[in-house]
Chain A
Amino acid sequence: MKNPLVALIVGILIGVGGLYFFLPYDPLARSGRQADAGASQQAEEGERMAAGDTLRRVRQRGFIQCGVSQGLPGFSNPDERGRWSGIDADFCRAMAAAIFGNAEQVRFRPLSAKDRFTALQSGEIDILSRNTTWTMSRDTQLGFNFVGVTYYDGQSFMVRKAAGIKTTADLAGATICTETGTTTELNLADYFRSRGLSYRVLSFEKNDEAIVAYDRGRCDAYTTDASGLYATRLKLADPDANMILSEIISKEPLGPAVRQGDPQWENIARWTLNALLEAEELGVTSENLDEMLKSENPRVKRLLGLEGAYGSTMGISNDWAANAIRAVGNYGEMFERNVGKATPLGIERGLNALWTNGGLQYAPPVR
């Protein structure tokens, strides 16, 4: 061609045209692989807000869109094979198993703290399972409903074992490292002021700087949410020389949230979580599930769908809970596998133990 510029421009135009032509066919379109996606799109939009619609669209699409974090150890983080692991990720798998009978029919969408709520509002995700604290304003003002608590978190302190600090009362006069501009700093001030204890705070812009300062002995304690403390401890030069106080000074119940206005979908999410808790209480695990299916205990029979029709009232199959338990185990298994004693995080059950074991996890009965 005489004129390379013209060739270049024509090339670009055709390339852009090609992009436009090609892209609508591929999975980028939300309606998935439906052949007549275009035709059904209009009808779909009209019915969108109707109750029960989320389940229908999820079924049609063939997978759940699950909003997770961009990497929080033990809650939602990609492992070295690229698979999302953690409590929050497993909860979405349990829902997929309850709906489809297959825990892999879920796609994870990593979201930053800023865009997580918009993603749920705009329908980009079906469920937000991203270590989100259940607060009144979020529940009442943002147009979501929280379905329960997957992890009772709260602010705590990490101290050196050698320092002999056993309770927060021993922290009087201590220097405490934290991050600036977080609720952590405010909680700290509230707690110490209300008890009339003196303290010095050393705040840092970034989490990593605060950890280095603590590790070098510039402060006596480091404070953030307890789950974060366990992950942070692994970054210290000698993790075993440090301990996390069992006292919690703030309430941070973390739980999954769904859009308001679709009670059916909300019920599926809420009862999937309840079923995992109920299963632990009844001793049903992913390993003994097949034996439990022969159990004569009426509570087990109702949970596993052998008696009554609890699944079909939510629009899913009656063995929903059995499928979810088979996929991810009961709540206790899920906890131990992701954050429990056998993992590097080594978190105690604490508040997250069942109510029968002195914790807060309590599920209403399936009946």
Chain B
Amino acid sequence: MAMESITGRSASRSKTLTPLVWAQRNLFSSIGNTMLTLASAYLLWLTIPPVLDFTIFSAVWTGTTREACLAPGAGMCWPFIWANIDQFIYGRYPPEEIWRVNLTFALGIAVIVPMLIPGLPARRLNLVLLLIVYPLVAIVLLAGDRPGLPPVPTSEWGGLLVTLVVAITGIVASLPLGVLLALGRRSEMPAIRMFCIIFIEFWRGVPLITVLFMASVMLPLFLPEGMNPDNLLRCLVGVALFSSAYMAEVVRGGLQAIPAGQYEAARALGLTYWQAMGQVVLPQALRHVIPGIVNTFIGLFKDTTLVLIVGIFDLLGQMRAQLADPNWTIPQGALTGYIFAALVFWVFCFGMSQYSNFMERRLDTTRER
């Protein structure tokens, strides 16, 4: 959407300006600008052609073995990606059970997409489906151990599946928890306020890598032997608590921007605390901090790669594990894998940021009205 408005504007301008005049006005208007333009063009010339050459022009597109990518000067090795694509998406999930992951992905899209499109009816039903029914169905489908669904331990999950499970759990859990913590931190009840402050400052004060390490390595030593909560579950809880502390501070920023008069007026009308917060203060506050919220989501999405250190293979970890396969060890292997992983992460993060831009603009128009 942002792209459209920019191109729309320049299109209307170019009716009156020839490209030459446009370039003169915008790129070569002064000596300083001319030098900057030339320097930028030189930098682009230095970087873009080699990147395009590696990823597209000298890339190897077909083949089934590592020999295909061993030609001198060969670029990105796509056969490595194609051959391992199942690993990148599903990890070591048993091949005959992969339909369960696909079904989970499809159901996820079916409940999330209608939620993201504004103005569709039956939102309440959709919310219930998304937040209650879908997680339960997804757990049963993915973990199994039900009639007709053989169990698949989480140690065999991997790749994009783990990335999405960790990120979505973190995102879905952190927003409501963060809102509650933010309200708690501004509460007038000292016990609740102290609890929220301690919680937030504790989780903000430790690095995520420490949290995951504690959950994975230290926790089993404290628990009685034989009692081992699932490794992935430990990480999910760690990530959710960690991100909710960040979310709380983002939401608190929004709450601070709302004049106290809003809340006082709502209370004067006879609304309860929760009604006033839920219907007057929070809708305005959250709208202010959409960029911050999405920022946290994107950060969380990328932080999921840290689960590798506790032996869970997310997309990046799985990619690195596949690089260890001697049948695919090639000089450009690491570069190929990292570029592919970066591409996948970029698609998700860019999608999130575009959606947040769209929501911001949509909510802005309602405010102008």
- Write the residues of chain A forming the contact surface with B, with a CB cutoff of 8 angstroms: 1-9, 11-12, 14-16, 18-19, 22-23, 25-28, 30, 33, 41, 44-45, 48, 69-74, 77-85, 107-112, 114-115, 118-119, 121-124, 208, 215, 231, 234-237, 339, 343-345
Contact = CB atoms under 8 A, between A and B. Distances in A.
Contacts, number: 206
A344 B278 contact: no
Given A3-B274, A16-B173, A23-B233, 4 more contacts: A33-B145, A73-B325, A80-B87, A122-B220
Contacts of A112: 308-311
B220 A124 contact: yes
Interface string B114-140: 000000000010011011100110011
Contact of A5 (B217, B225, B277): B277
Interface string B266-282: 00000000110111001
Contacts of B282: 5
B221 A118 contact: yes
- Secondary structure class of chain B's binding surface, majority of residues: helix
Interface in B81-127: 83-84, 86-87, 90-93, 95, 124, 127
Given A45-B225, A82-B87, A124-B228, A19 B135 contact: yes
A111 B311 contact: yes
A15 B132 contact: yes
B87 A19 contact: no
B127 A234 contact: no
A35 to B, nearest CB: 12
B358 to A, nearest CB: 20
A74 B326 contact: yes
Given A5-B277, A7-B127, A234-B329, A77 B324 contact: yes
Contacts of A237: 72, 331
B41 to A, nearest CB: 29
Interface stretch (B6-14, B194-202, B314-322, B361-369): B314-322
Contacts of A16: 173
Contact of B128 (A11, A79, A107): A11
B63 interface: no
B107 to A, nearest CB: 15
Contacts of B225: 45, 48, 122-123
Contact of A231 (B175, B226, B326): B326
A8 B131 contact: yes
Which of A30, A82, A122, A236 has the most B CB atoms < 10 Å from its CB? A82
A121 B213 CA distance: 16
A28 B143 contact: yes
B92 to A, nearest CB: 4
A7 B132 contact: no
Contact of A28 (B83, B154, B175, B313): B154
B91 A82 contact: yes
Contacts of A107: 153, 155-156
B179 interface: yes
Contacts of A108: 92, 155
Interface residues of B, number: 78
Given A70-B321, A107-B155, A237-B331, A22 B221 contact: no
A121 B219 CA distance: 12
A121 B218 CA distance: 11
B327 interface: yes
A183 B179 CA distance: 49
B299 interface: no
Closest 8 CB pairs of A and B: A71-B324, A11-B131, A27-B151, A28-B230, A122-B220, A71-B321, A234-B329, A77-B324
Nearest to A75: B324
B320 A71 contact: yes
Contacts of A208: 334
Nearest to B327: A344
Nearest to A237: B331
Contacts of B128: 7, 11
A345 to B, nearest CB: 5
Nearest to A111: B311
A22 B141 CA distance: 12
Given A6-B274, A344-B326, A344-B327, A80 B226 contact: no
A11 B311 contact: no
Contacts of A12: 131, 172-173, 176-177
Contacts of B136: 15, 18, 22
A238 to B, nearest CB: 8
Nearest to A212: B331
Contact of B324 (A72, A111, A121): A72
A215 B135 CA distance: 50
26 contacts: A8-B127, A12-B172, A22-B136, A22-B139, A23-B143, A26-B151, A27-B152, A27-B153, A45-B226, A71-B322, A73-B326, A73-B329, A77-B325, A78-B322, A78-B325, A80-B325, A82-B87, A108-B155, A109-B155, A112-B310, A114-B217, A115-B310, A123-B228, A234-B330, A236-B331, A339-B326
